[in-house]
Amino acid sequence: MNDRIAATPPATLAELLRRGNVFAEQCPSREVLKHVTSRWGVLLLVALLAGTQRFSDLRRKVGGISEKMLAQTLQWLEADGFVARIAHPVVPPHVEYSLTPLGIEVAGKVEVLADWIEFNLPAIMAARAARESGPD
């Protein structure tokens, strides 16, 4: 038996509810996980690590994202507390997006994943090619 597991007291129901359980079908953490780890969520979080940016800057930086998906993903990340939206009262409207302290933390985590993928891309592509070519 694992001594580390045995030494850990069972969590109370209140602790379990506060922490969440990503494996539970109805747990709200799944929705947050979906927002953070979606293709656009990862790319926007990493892009915002460079600092405050306007909507149009983000659209140019994240190739292939539609205006609708950019707006929707930013709204999700804002609702989750990761992105701050600052609207300046000028004409035409000037809106900027930046990471909150919580956003900086989560962006750092997904940046590590994105970096790992980039670093290992040759091996990943070789595995794909080997699978597509089939057995010798």
Query: Is residue 17 in a domain?
Result: no
Residue 91 to residues 70, 81, 95: CA-CA distances in angstroms?
22, 27, 11
Q: In order along the chain (136 residues), what is the average pLDDT of each group of 10 residues?
A: 53 67 82 93 97 96 96 97 94 93 97 96 95 77
The pLDDT assigned to 1 comes to: 44
Query: Is residue 128 in a domain?
Result: yes
Quick count: other Cβ atoms within 10 Å of Cβ 118? Answer: 10
Give me the number of domains the chain comprises.
1
The pLDDT assigned to 22 comes to: 79
Query: Is residue 16 in a domain?
Result: no
> What's the domain range around 47?
26-133
